[in-house]
Amino acid sequence: MALQLDLFSDFLVPDKLRPTPAKTPVPAPVPVSDKTQRDETRPAAPPPSTFVNTSNKRRILIQDYLLEYDLQRSKRRSIGFLINEDGLRITAPRWVTIADIETAIQEKQAWILRKLTERRERTQRKLEPSMTWQDGAKLPYLGGEITLRIAPASVIGTHFQSAQAELIINLPADAGEQQLKDRVQAWLQQEAKRVFNERLPVFAEKLNVRYQSMALSAATTRWGSCTSQGKIRLNWRLIHFSPMIIDYVIAHELAHLREMNHSPRFWATVQSVFPDFEVARNTLRQHASADLPVF
**What are the pLDDT digits (tens) for 124-163?**
666 555 678 888 999 999 999 999 999 887 677 888 998 9
Higher per-residue pLDDT: 262 or 56: 262
Look at residue 86 in the predicted model and tell me its pLDDT: 82
**Of 255, 188, 198, 248, residue with least CA distance to 223:** 248
Query: Which amino acid is residue 292, in one-letter code?
Result: L
Q: What is the pLDDT of residues 30-63, one digit of tens each?
A: 454 444 444 444 444 444 434 444 448 899 988 8
- Taking each helix axis from N to C end, the angle separating 109-127 and 98-107, rounded to the nearest 10 degrees, works out to 70
- The mean of the pLDDT values for the chain is 81
State how far the Cα of 281 lies from the Cα of 146, in Å rounded to an integer. Answer: 24
Look at residue 114 in the predicted model and tell me its pLDDT: 86
**In this prediction, what percent of the chain has a pLDDT beyond 90?**
49
For residue 206, is pLDDT > 80? yes
The superfamily (CATH) of domain 138-291 is: Metalloproteases ("zincins"), catalytic domain (3.30.2010.10)
State how far the Cα of 68 lies from the Cα of 87, in Å rounded to an integer. Answer: 8
Look at residue 117 in the predicted model and tell me its pLDDT: 84
Helix (H) / strand (E) containing 81: strand 78-84
Q: What is the pLDDT of residues 61-118, one digit of tens each?
A: 888 888 999 999 988 888 999 888 788 999 999 999 999 999 999 999 988 988 888 7
Look at residue 35 in the predicted model and tell me its pLDDT: 44
For residue 258, is pLDDT > 70? yes
**Of 139, 149, 232, 229, residue with least CA distance to 191:** 139
Look at residue 280 in the predicted model and tell me its pLDDT: 92
Look at residue 265 in the predicted model and tell me its pLDDT: 95
Q: What angle do CA 270, 240, 136 make, to 5 degrees?
A: 165
Look at residue 136 in the predicted model and tell me its pLDDT: 92
| Res. 19 pLDDT band, cuts 50 70 90 | low
Look at residue 129 in the predicted model and tell me its pLDDT: 56
CB 21 within 8 A of CB 123: no
Higher per-residue pLDDT: 286 or 190: 190
Strand partners, 60: 67
Write phi, then psi, for 6 (nearest 5 degrees).
-65, 135
3-state secondary structure (DSSP) of residue 162: coil
Which residue spans of the chain are classified as CATH 3.30.2010.10? Answer: 138-291
Q: What is the pTM of this model?
A: 0.61
- Cα–Cα distances (Å) from 219 to 29, 198, 236, in that order, read 67, 22, 9
For residue 18, is pLDDT > 60? no
